[in-house]
Amino acid sequence: MKIRKAVIPVAGLGTRFLPATKAIPKEMLTIVDRPTIQYIVEEAVSSGIEQVIFVTSQGKSAIENHFDYNFELDMALKEKKKVTLGRELEKISNLIDIISVRQKKPLGLGHAIWTARHVVGNEPFLVLLGDDLVINDQPCARQMLDLFDEVQESIVAVQRVPMEETFQYGIVEGEPLERARTHKVHRMIEKPAPGTSRSDMAIIGRYILMPEVFEFLGRTTPGHGGEIQLTDALLALSNQRGMYAYEFEGTRYDAGDKLGYLKAILAYGLRHDTLGAPLKAHLKKLTAKL
């Protein structure tokens, strides 16, 4: 089976980033010269995905507009002979086929994914969270799709975190396999109480899921924080069919968190063709004063 579709949930309230996110979706906050969500859609495209399904909510139309064709802007740029800029915008609106579905209430990530069930249908699919960035030459999603080609089962992306931070994540307990960076999942716990976790493998915002996950999501009752947690359905899915955890290559930034967002701006800024060198020089000057 080949994975063609990617679900990108962007319907969350973004409370960690208030007041910036009162009227602007956190996925539209700028990292260097483009919104966070564009990096994520570009990761899906460069990994070979053919269709993106946004799970949106009220107040998030800027995300869909960003990937749409803007006739008036296009005409204005043509009149002003700003050809390169015009082409850049055209490229964004032609990036990939996009469909949106609405999550009417922010009932959690599990519920957001469940909302996309009719558009996904009966095939495995990729999930990329709208505020989770991973920098690596080979995209994180591509690495996971390569593993899927071999195992044809659900996969969660994981990274090692300090034990004292495990309570902030969905945690995976598993057994390492011969294939590098790959583990067979035995157990998953959503945000374990501090000091109780037996593993430091934290789930981050990339998943490959078999369509059976929708049955489990449909049956899942609200868990931690009154939300329909994806982890609960994943645990049921892993018990039924098996599941893999993959320690991806790359650095992950949580752009939905203020500090994570600042770190992401610096990382992308320092990699930028023309801005990287002057930014580095400026940082050197700044840190010399510390």
Residue 251's Cα: distance from chain center in Å?
13
Residues at the contact surface with ligand UTP, assessed by CB under 6 A: 9-17, 55, 103, 106-109, 111-112, 129-131, 256
* Nearest residue to ligand UTP, scored by beta-carbon proximity: 12
Which residue number, 12 or 139, has a Cβ lying nearer to ligand UTP?
12
d(C-alpha 140, C-alpha 146), whole Å: 10
Which residue number, 130 or 139, has a Cβ lying nearer to ligand UTP?
130
Which residue number, 15 or 46, has a Cβ lying nearer to ligand UTP?
15
Which residue number, 129 or 234, has a Cβ lying nearer to ligand UTP?
129
Residue for token pair 């089962």: 153
Virtual torsion, Cα 88, 94, 99, 104, nearest 10 deg: 10
Which residue number, 77 or 120, has a Cβ lying nearer to ligand UTP?
120
CB of 212 to ligand UTP, least distance (A): 21
CB of 132 to ligand UTP, least distance (A): 7
CB of 10 to ligand UTP, least distance (A): 5
Backbone angles phi, psi at 188, to 5 degrees: -140, 140
Which residue number, 144 or 228, has a Cβ lying nearer to ligand UTP?
228
d(C-alpha 155, C-alpha 218), whole Å: 20
d(C-alpha 264, C-alpha 251), whole Å: 10
The burial class, CB within 10 Å (0-12 / 13-18 / 19+), for 281 is: exposed
E-strand ranges in the chain read 5-9, 30-31, 34-35, 51-56, 97-102, 125-128, 132-135, 154-160, 170-176, 182-190, 201-209, 243-247, 251-254
157 and 206 Cβ atoms separated by less than 8 Å: yes
- How far separated are the first and last CA of the chain, in Å rounded? 54
25 and 10 Cβ atoms separated by less than 8 Å: yes
Which residue number, 156 or 279, has a Cβ lying nearer to ligand UTP?
156
CB of 208 to ligand UTP, least distance (A): 17
DSSP string covering 129-195, please?
-TTEEEE-SS-HHHHHHHHHHHH-SEEEEEEE--GGGGGGSEEEEEEE-SSTTEEEEEEEEESPPTT
Which residue number, 21 or 47, has a Cβ lying nearer to ligand UTP?
21
CB of 45 to ligand UTP, least distance (A): 18
d(C-alpha 211, C-alpha 154), whole Å: 9
CB of 148 to ligand UTP, least distance (A): 21
CB of 62 to ligand UTP, least distance (A): 13
CB of 173 to ligand UTP, least distance (A): 22
